[in-house]
Amino acid sequence: MKITGITVYKVKPRWIFVKLSTDEGIDGWGEMISGTKTETVVAGAKELGEYLVGRNPFEIERLWQELYKSFFRGGPINGTIVSGLEMALWDIKGKFCKLPVYEFLGGKARDRIKVYSWVGGDRPDDVAREAIDRKNRGFDAVKMNATEELHYIDSFAKVQAVVDRVASIREACGYDFGIGVDFHGRVHKPMAKVLAHELEPYKLMFLEEVVLPENEEAFREVALHVSTPLATGERLTSRWQYKNLFQEGIIDIIQPDVAMVGGILETKKIISMAEAFDMAAAPHAPYGPIALAATLQVDVCSPNVFIQEQSLGIHYNRGFDLLDFVKNKDIFQYKDGFVEVPEKPGLGIEIDEETVKKVAAEGLRWTNPKWHNYDGTMAEW
């Protein structure tokens, strides 16, 4: 079997789908992250994708090494391109062999996968009502953004507003309900210590990205103020960037993104290494249906994954949602806060390419918000 071509689709609300075709009529699908550089990713995908034409799609490790190991390597652009292409290679291999991808990675380690739901939006509001809604739908865990704009040193009123929101969920849903709070890198070290300490009484499931990854030395300082598990990893672009986290031993939960760190096998390698350090995993997956389907393949065979992010109904999905592009919609049907292990071959997902083509024809321009503090300085989003 040989790869014969690559097709890239820019799809609203903020997704990039890639299809690899073969001379035996088997197509493989992958997904890349648009971020704020959609056209750059698309151009890079076509450039690297052409390198795969004429190659054997089954030689995934060999092709990954050749795609990743350029002289100037790494970074989110190259990371997401390689990730999307790698997913598509696994999809081809699984479909040809009539097996789900996880069967190549050790097979099932679980019977079902626990998932959580987002509440509150970018600027969190009315989180208790939304949490009750999710609980009524069977979820027993949610995640929310902690705060909106926050300066290096800011008012305690903003801290108290976060505490009040979290307290409202805890009061409404009880202590057997998981609450993840995402600082989203919006909080600088001085306020991160304050905010984490003030949230400690609410027995949270985890605190996520309490500081930006480039300030990872501050994780230790925040950890001194709380016993709440700390999570990070969504912005890291390779297994090599995880080395310090493993060696330091401060982070409790890693959150690799299959569409960023190099694809399915790389995510599996990272999560397996975390297991050796007695660390949990909760993979990052707030994007489109292909990335989520690929992530579920890793979840199935990774015993230290304790919960999975999923993006049905997330605040970014305006106009279109995951199921709009999927024929076998049962793959993302949640029951009592769990999703079943996918059984179909490859990534387990059947893409509605006609709908993809139609939406892609509308074009895509997505940028993350540009926020500013009260004095006009740029605030982290």
Specify burial of residue 51 (Cβ count, 10 A radius: 0-12, 13-18, 19+): middle
Q: Phi and psi of 131, rounded to 5°?
A: -65, -40
Q: Which of 151, 188, 197, 284 is catalytic?
A: 284
Quick check: is 197 catalytic? no
Q: What is the largest CA-CA distance in the chain?
A: 63
Q: How far apart are CA 280 and CA 254, in angstroms?
A: 6
* Token representation of residue 223: 């950890």
Q: Residues near 224 by Cβ (< 8 Å), separated by ≥ 6?
A: none
Decide if 246 contacts 279 (C-beta within 8 A). yes
Q: Which of 184, 188, 225, 372 is catalytic?
A: 184
Q: How far apart are CA 67 and CA 130, in angstroms?
A: 43
DSSP-derived secondary structure letter, 208: E
Helix-helix angle 76-97:264-276, to 10 degrees: 100
Q: How far apart are CA 362 and CA 359, in angstroms?
A: 5
Quick check: is 184 catalytic? yes
Nearest to 300 by CA among 249, 336, 264: 264
Q: DSSP alpha helices (H): ranges in the chain?
A: 38-52, 60-68, 76-97, 127-136, 156-173, 189-199, 218-223, 243-248, 264-276, 289-300, 353-360
* Type and span of the H or E element at 31: strand 28-33
CB atoms within 10 A of CB 277: 15
DSSP one-letter string for 221-270 = HHHTT--S-EEE-TT--SGGGGHHHHHH---SEE--BTTTTTSHHHHHHH
Residues acting as catalytic residues:
184, 284
